[in-house]
Chains A and B, each alone.
Chain A
């Protein structure tokens, strides 16, 4: 059986239905690493490169949301209109791998792999993105928090294709920060996305837990301590950082230590909450 190359979403879902267990290939930046390193031997592959529905994004001004197809490369999020609509996503996209990776990799890959180090995932989490899944004749919408169920596990069914995500357009300040031990092309040691959306503060963390984490206590504390103009005092920022650290669940691995990650994610939270605000 060859690599299947559907040219529409309906064709793709039909192929997936006809070929249970087929491997879905989007940008290839995760899958091919596994193949090259002998960790995976694909038999049936459905390549989504030519499915236009997955490679588009669209703005819904009425709803105040943006839909981003699962195969839209990160490159297109880094600058331009999308970057204006969701700046934190632009910042996250810019930290993904190298320029070559950002030309191929996409949110569908981050969601499909569901690594806690997936760079775009804290943004999706902080903004309560909706994940759209398509199978033959049906679609299903899942809040991203329900989609990411565990380390490298998600709630996609075998017959489903990740169509894309819907995110709210920014209506408050937002930002993303990622710690890596190199100034470019690095896997996250700790990352965080902060957003003030609809007046409520949200923070989501990457690489400091089995999945991307939200920090409800810290968010609650901050919502009670935001100044009327949305600004944050140094003391409040510091306490927010402390609470975020507390809510993180990092581990030791070859990339860093739990102690450092817990510390770093608190510093990121403290800085993010004041970023872009004149103090």
Chain B
């Protein structure tokens, strides 16, 4: 084994994306690029009001417009009138009541997008305006009428742990506000639906995170058996949680079935802001008790998550929030109350970080307050409280995952700080950029820290699994799975797994669709673990049969065979045959379902092993602030992330840098502004995303301590990068200006007024 072969794209190497060439050429087919002969365009009529009764809908004028083929409303939904990921409380179309601005009321199909727009404008809806429930506290107090038959409270969860009367010499308190963030994927919602010839089925190509969940919800609403609703993954232009819920899937299918023609729906950016759920805005109160050295004694907390008009995944987001109250720190005593409520604000659900972003923003603000009270620095307070493997959470769950928190902090602290701003500096380096708002002398620099713990995969007893099939034929492998590729790179990773396990080089991924079992959602940092585990399992089953085949052919006990690079080798004999040669004329196909270990529900005191595994990360932010104008430039983010094992280091780095940019957005610019239920900034002019000039220098280190639970030793890396970077940046701003800022995003007026 002395011969080094050319680098192969096996696990641990930075294999390149198989779809890269198509994407750089512009001929990768995103769902919005799909077309069909005789295709119609669909469009949605949405409520301009946050809360209103629908008195009447008159679409007679719209019908008169040439090119309009059909108009559908709630009356045309043949099956279940509502859908939802956890509880089915959201109408396909509003019937009597609209509960948020942008709620769908009708849909049209026509020959041209402009015809659709004119038809929508011609539909007359008469509304009776109702009082808008916009304050989550009003929803909790029960002082206002219920806006939904299921009431205004989606879920309440309490956690009581240890000695709730414990206290210490240091008591710090804060109330933190986290704004409503949008996932803002670039490829807006799109789908192309084809009706079956018999009119009793439909095929929908859609950009989604979870084909089978869409299929289930769509079939229920369409009144069709699931096998008559076939889904194919169209090219997905980013997701970040926003494609976990149904948006245009049912509408597209209904329009196609009704018109008996292919129908394409595609949201514009404004509609996209109304068409998907957002990150929950939250108010989090925390009071920490610590000893004189800054060691945690007890945490009290109260969370309020504004779920908006419909439940979506609010109840799960709430559980993630409250169960991460303590952060990556040891604390045995806690009393926590969390509420997720309905309001007439936009519905909120999944976004990268899923409830933990909100908890982390609060607990990290608190850690800095404890440090200040104890007279120690932000690094020390985190080190002395750092959680390690085997510690117990406030839910009573033992952290069995590798928990290298101390190491993450120390290694991050070792990353060199950026050079100080020189006396003469290009304005693009300063806060305000090309606006030339400041000079060097106006700027102050600050440093801040954030460390986080994030559960990965699904929780609370959900039987979470993923399915994959591996077919080995004539030296080449075909992988089949329903795992949504949304840009994260599973289509890169899956062939790496097959190459490592089977010693092949030629691996292709089959069409991603519902012609195989579910893969679960591309969310919760779970696909490397779950679908990676499924692909690995399927490949291992194939390998077993391959060894049996080779063993029989060459008269060797299969148990003696291993894969060495691209050969099959007898470990105690002389046989060496290439996989390519050994599989000529042979077809072996195996399917595998990977389940993670079961989890439990929480009891009424919030006790239970509700999570599967955890990943950790540390961030240190350096910012330059113009304190007088309140403008910020994030200079550098240093980070060390617990990844288990980096299966594709380049992809990991991409996730880290991308997640940091999103966390930066939440820290200093991204917020959907809602006033009395009205969204004020549904556009990229007014909902600001970080640009190339806002991107900080990222210095990233990885801690690779393979997790024994994980099929490939690797933890999910998608969510952690965006979680604690936000509090780190805000802490750095506080450090620069010496002022408490209890909210994110930080607005200029929060700094200077």
Query: Footprint of B on A, CB under 8 Å?
Result: 36-38, 91, 94-95, 175-187, 189, 191, 253-257, 259-260, 263-264, 267-268, 271, 275
Contacts and interface: CB of A to CB of B under 8 A. Distances in A.
B269 to A, nearest CB: 9
29 contacts: A36-B268, A38-B121, A176-B436, A177-B435, A178-B435, A179-B435, A179-B437, A180-B432, A182-B669, A182-B690, A183-B434, A183-B691, A184-B433, A191-B435, A254-B686, A255-B681, A256-B748, A256-B749, A259-B749, A259-B753, A260-B747, A260-B752, A260-B753, A263-B752, A264-B752, A267-B628, A267-B629, A268-B437, A268-B629
Contact of A184 (B431, B436, B438, B691): B691
B748 A183 contact: no
B753 A179 contact: no
A271 B428 contact: no
Contact of A181 (B117, B268, B442, B668): B668
Q: Which of A185, A256, A257 has the most CB of B within 10 A?
A: A185
Nearest to A270: B628
B158 interface: no
Contact of A254 (B268, B673, B752): B673
A52 to B, nearest CB: 30
B753 A180 contact: no
Contacts of A189: 748
B237 interface: no
Interface of B: 117, 121, 268, 270, 428, 431-439, 442, 628-631, 633, 668-669, 673, 675, 680-681, 683, 685-686, 688, 690-694, 747-749, 752-753
Contacts of A178: 435-437
Contacts of B694: 182-184
Nearest to A275: B439
Given A256-B748, A263-B752, A179 B681 contact: no
Given A177-B437, A189-B748, A275-B439, A183 B688 contact: no
Nearest to B695: A183
Nearest to B437: A177
B117 A38 contact: yes
A186 B629 contact: no
A109 B692 CA distance: 26
B433 A183 contact: yes
A179 B435 CA distance: 6
Contacts of B749: 256-257, 259-260, 263
Contact of B747 (A94, A95, A181, A275): A181
B695 to A, nearest CB: 9
Contacts, number: 98
A176 B437 CA distance: 8
A177 B436 contact: yes
A28 B727 CA distance: 41
B442 A95 contact: no
A185 B686 CA distance: 11
Contact of B633 (A183, A186, A268): A183
Contact of B691 (A175, A185, A187, A257): A185
A111 to B, nearest CB: 20
Contacts of A176: 436
A134 B101 CA distance: 45
Contact of B748 (A91, A94, A179, A187): A179
Contacts of A253: 680
Given A175-B436, A256-B748, A184 B692 contact: yes
A271 B434 contact: no
A94 B427 CA distance: 12
A179 B121 CA distance: 37
B437 A271 contact: yes
Nearest to B681: A254
Nearest to A255: B686
Contacts of A268: 437, 629
Nearest to A186: B688
Given A183-B432, A260-B749, 5 more contacts: A175-B436, A183-B691, A256-B747, A263-B749, A268-B437
Contacts of A179: 432, 435, 437, 629, 631, 748
Contacts of B752: 260, 263-264
Contacts of A271: 437-439, 442
Nearest to B438: A271
A30 B7 CA distance: 52
A181 B669 contact: yes
Contacts of A264: 629-630, 748, 752
Nearest to B628: A267
A83 to B, nearest CB: 13
A236 B272 CA distance: 50
A239 to B, nearest CB: 16
B692 to A, nearest CB: 7
Q: Which of B433, B435, B675, B749 has the most CB of A within 10 A?
A: B435
Contacts of A187: 685-686
Contacts of B428: 183
B748 A181 contact: yes
Contact of A182 (B442, B688, B747): B688
Contacts of B685: 187
Contacts of A36: 268
A182 B691 CA distance: 8
Given A254-B680, A267-B629, A184 B434 contact: yes
Contacts of B688: 181-182, 186
A93 to B, nearest CB: 10
Contacts of B691: 182-185
A181 B628 CA distance: 14
A95 B435 contact: yes
Contacts of A183: 428, 431-434, 633, 691, 693-694
A213 B624 CA distance: 31
A94 B437 CA distance: 13
A179 B630 CA distance: 10
B435 to A, nearest CB: 4
Nearest to A36: B268
Contacts of A182: 433, 669, 688, 690-691, 693-694
Contacts of A260: 630, 747-749, 752-753
Contacts of B675: 254
A260 B748 CA distance: 8
A36 to B, nearest CB: 7
A154 B748 CA distance: 32
B434 A94 contact: yes
A96 B747 CA distance: 22
